[in-house]
């Protein structure tokens, strides 16, 4: 029932809900590297690939599993993902985020073998290896991303500019905008006023300091059971 609602709420170009034209799903719990993975993936392809992404709902990945659509399920250690989420979404309670994390991956566990799992550290440091596993698992032939100073700089430029909500950049994520169109948009955005640092989607010193402050909340004894559940589902999901 959620996906029809999501299609109405998110008509595109991002988030993009799985549909008949979807070639690949890249999604996971929020703050698990989805934006990096999506941009890095599209940047290294010869032509745009139709992606479903950024819904951050287990229904998206469940639908891919049930319909045989190639899917990359992203996952990050609970503490890293959730504290990053709370910085981005300060109205979310830590207790609720812990429960949501466990629910998200707990629903996917019975279908675990139908995904390729992309752990945050590997995605952000050797994404080419993740794409290689996608190709091996699903019989696809996607180009592999190579981590160089140039490719990382290009990827982080797109992530930083995502806060402009440029329809062209968001369309590039979903595979409905070409590389040439995206490059022209980048040139136009370069002439625009700088984006407020608070709206940028890249890591920052301020966010790291905020994470340190939230770490004290993370260790509260009253959250021990929820922390254990989240860590347990993380270990089960990554191990397969």
pLDDT of residue 197: 47
| Total count of domains within the chain | 1
The yes-or-no verdict on residue 189 having pLDDT over 60 is yes
CATH number at 205 reads: 3.40.50
User: What tokens does 123 get?
Assistant: 């995605």
pLDDT of residue 166: 95
Q: What is the pLDDT of residues 45-59, one digit of tens each?
A: 999 999 999 999 999
Q: Is residue 236 one of the residues assigned to a domain? A: no
Rounded Cα–Cα distance for residues 156 and 168 (Å): 16
Q: Is residue 6 one of the residues assigned to a domain? A: yes
Q: What is the pLDDT of residues 84-121, one digit of tens each?
A: 999 999 999 999 999 999 999 999 999 999 999 999 99
Cα angle vertex 53, ends 51, 54, to 5°?
155
Q: Is residue 143 one of the residues assigned to a domain? A: yes
Q: Is residue 92 one of the residues assigned to a domain? A: yes
The yes-or-no verdict on residue 202 having pLDDT over 80 is no
Question: With bands split at pLDDT 50, 70 and 90, how would you rate the model's confidence at 165?
Answer: very high
Our measurement of the distance from residue 235's CA atom to the centroid of its chain's CA atoms, rounded to an integer in Å, reads 19
Question: With bands split at pLDDT 50, 70 and 90, how would you rate the model's confidence at 203?
Answer: low
Q: Is residue 235 one of the residues assigned to a domain? A: no
Q: Is 189 exposed, middle or buried (0-12, 13-18, 19+ CB in 10 A)?
A: middle
Rounded Cα–Cα distance for residues 61 and 111 (Å): 9
Domain of residue 153 covers: 2-229
Instruction: Report CA dihedral (42, 32, 159, 146) to the nearest 10 degrees.
Output: -50
Q: Is residue 20 one of the residues assigned to a domain? A: yes
Q: Is residue 48 one of the residues assigned to a domain? A: yes
pLDDT of residue 198: 47
Contacts for 135 with CB less than 8 Å, ≥ 6 apart = 141, 142
Q: What percent of the chain clears pLDDT 70, i.e. is strictly above it? A: 95
Q: Is residue 37 one of the residues assigned to a domain? A: yes
């Amino acid at each position: 029932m959620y996906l029809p609602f999501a299609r109405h709420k998110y008509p595109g170009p991002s988030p993009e809900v799985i549909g008949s034209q979807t070639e690949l799903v890249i999604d996971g719990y929020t703050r698990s590297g989805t934006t990096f993975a999506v941009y890095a993936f599209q940047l290294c392809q010869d032509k745009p690939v139709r992606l479903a992404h950024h819904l951050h709902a287990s229904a998206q990945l469940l639908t891919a599993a049930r319909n045989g659509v190639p899917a990359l399920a992203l996952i990050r250690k609970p503490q890293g993902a959730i504290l990053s989420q709370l910085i981005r979404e300060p109205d979310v309670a830590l207790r609720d985020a812990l429960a949501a994390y466990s629910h998200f991956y707990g629903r996917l566990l019975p279908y675990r073998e139908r995904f390729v799992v992309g752990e945050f550290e590997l995605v952000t440091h050797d994404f080419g290896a993740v794409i290689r596993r996608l190709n091996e698992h699903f019989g696809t032939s996607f180009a592999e991303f190579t981590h160089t100073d140039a490719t990382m700089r290009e990827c982080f430029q797109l992530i930083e500019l995502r806060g402009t909500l440029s329809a062209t950049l968001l369309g590039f994520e979903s595979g409905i905008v070409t590389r040439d169109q995206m490059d022209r948009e980048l040139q136009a955005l370069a002439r625009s006023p700088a984006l407020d640092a608070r709206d940028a989607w890249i890591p920052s010193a301020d966010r790291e300091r905020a994470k340190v402050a939230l770490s004290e909340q993370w260790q509260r004894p009253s959250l021990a059971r929820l922390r254990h559940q989240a860590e347990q589902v993380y270990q089960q999901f990554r191990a397969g």
